[in-house]
């Protein structure tokens, strides 16, 4: 299988330019994305951090082609992601970019053994025969740290962390260059969260993957991201290297997120929160 891209590390893998998207609910018009631009260098991990309503999930869905922008462009691995695409283009896209969701249930059929989710991707996106696919499934399971005996398990027989490993194996089956991780560790217990983050980090290094990591949780960002963008109400309010944004936050909203993130010795402080909220409002 050939990778769809021969981009060298460091050149842009994802380029988002002036993306705008509004949603209408009744009379209200909400700007989910307001002129958002960003680039993700090949082989790096960009974390998009924001709270509910920040537009981070809309951004992710447009980048993988699940949603259409009002205006602006997205290019992944040098190809424009158009909302209207023929079968060939959709296939090509699936071999370039894959997505892992918060809830692995959404990509697993609860009536079928979990290997079928991986096998299906191999059937569609590779020309491997039955036996070769079976072997590839085992390899992929091993890659995400699942023993072969789990191949025939039903989703409900696995823990949340194990199911998320299957979802990652499924994403890897298409041999993509980019994986979009939308709150992929948010539903997991904290001890399991660490294991999945470590797995994702290892896979990125081993396979030279590019990650777009969507999260509300600043504490996981520093473990995985090279760069961060902070979003609020459809706009990017701050961006930079992970250490800079977390260590020397410039925008009051980033400061607020950091002031509110529980950590050892932390106390919630109403005065500090109110002062920062006032500063954001002005």
Interface with other proteins by CB under 8 A: which residues? 51-52, 160, 189-191, 193-194, 216-220, 222-223, 242-243, 246-247, 249, 252, 255-276, 278-279
Our CB check for other proteins shows the closer of 110 and 263 to be 263
Cβ 22 to other proteins shortest distance, Å: 20
Our CB check for other proteins shows the closer of 131 and 281 to be 281
Cβ 7 to other proteins shortest distance, Å: 30
Listed in sequence order, the residues at least 6 apart from 4 whose beta carbon sits closer than 8 Å to its beta carbon are: 77, 92, 95, 96, 177
The counts of H helices and E strands in the chain are: 10, 10
3-state secondary structure of 61: helix
Cβ 24 to other proteins shortest distance, Å: 18
Q: From CA 224, how far away is CA 212, in angstroms rounded? A: 10
Our CB check for other proteins shows the closer of 129 and 268 to be 268
Our CB check for other proteins shows the closer of 35 and 272 to be 272
Cβ 166 to other proteins shortest distance, Å: 19
Any long-range contacts for 228-231 (C-beta under 8 Å, 24+ apart)? 228/46, 228/47, 228/48, 228/49, 229/38, 229/46, 229/47, 229/48, 229/49, 230/49, 230/50, 230/254, 230/257, 231/36, 231/48, 231/49, 231/50, 231/54, 231/55, 231/56, 231/59
Cβ 38 to other proteins shortest distance, Å: 22
Our CB check for other proteins shows the closer of 42 and 59 to be 59
CA 259 to chain centre: 25
Our CB check for other proteins shows the closer of 119 and 182 to be 182
Cβ 190 to other proteins shortest distance, Å: 5
């Amino acid at each position: 299988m050939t990778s769809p891209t021969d981009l060298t590390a460091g050149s842009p893998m994802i380029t988002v330019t002036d993306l705008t998207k509004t949603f209408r609910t009744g009379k209200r018009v909400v700007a989910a994305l307001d002129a958002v631009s960003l680039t993700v260098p090949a082989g790096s991990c960009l974390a998009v951090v924001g709270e509910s309503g920040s537009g981070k999930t809309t951004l992710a869905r447009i980048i993988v082609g699940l949603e259409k922008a009002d205006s602006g462009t997205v290019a992944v691995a040098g190809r424009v992601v158009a909302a209207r695409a023929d079968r060939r283009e959709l296939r090509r896209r699936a071999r370039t970019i894959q997505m892992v969701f918060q809830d692995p249930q959404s990509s697993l059929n609860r009536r079928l053994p979990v290997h079928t989710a991986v096998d299906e991707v191999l059937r569609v996106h590779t020309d491997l025969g039955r036996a070769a696919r079976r072997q590839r499934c085992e390899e992929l399971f091993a890659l995400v740290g699942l023993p072969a005996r789990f191949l025939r398990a039903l989703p409900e027989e696995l823990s949340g962390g194990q199911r998320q490993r299957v979802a990652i194996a499924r994403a890897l089956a298409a041999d993509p260059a980019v994986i979009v991780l939308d709150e992929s560790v948010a539903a997991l217990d904290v001890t399991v969260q660490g294991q999945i983050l470590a797995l994702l980090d290892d896979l990125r290094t081993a396979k030279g993957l590019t990650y777009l990591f969507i999260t509300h949780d600043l504490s996981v960002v520093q473990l995985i991201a090279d760069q961060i963008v902070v979003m609020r109400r459809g706009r990017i309010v701050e961006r930079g290297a992970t250490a800079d944004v977390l260590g020397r936050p410039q925008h009051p909203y980033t400061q607020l997120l950091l002031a509110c993130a529980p950590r050892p010795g932390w106390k919630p402080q109403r005065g500090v929160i109110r002062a920062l909220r006032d500063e954001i409002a002005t």
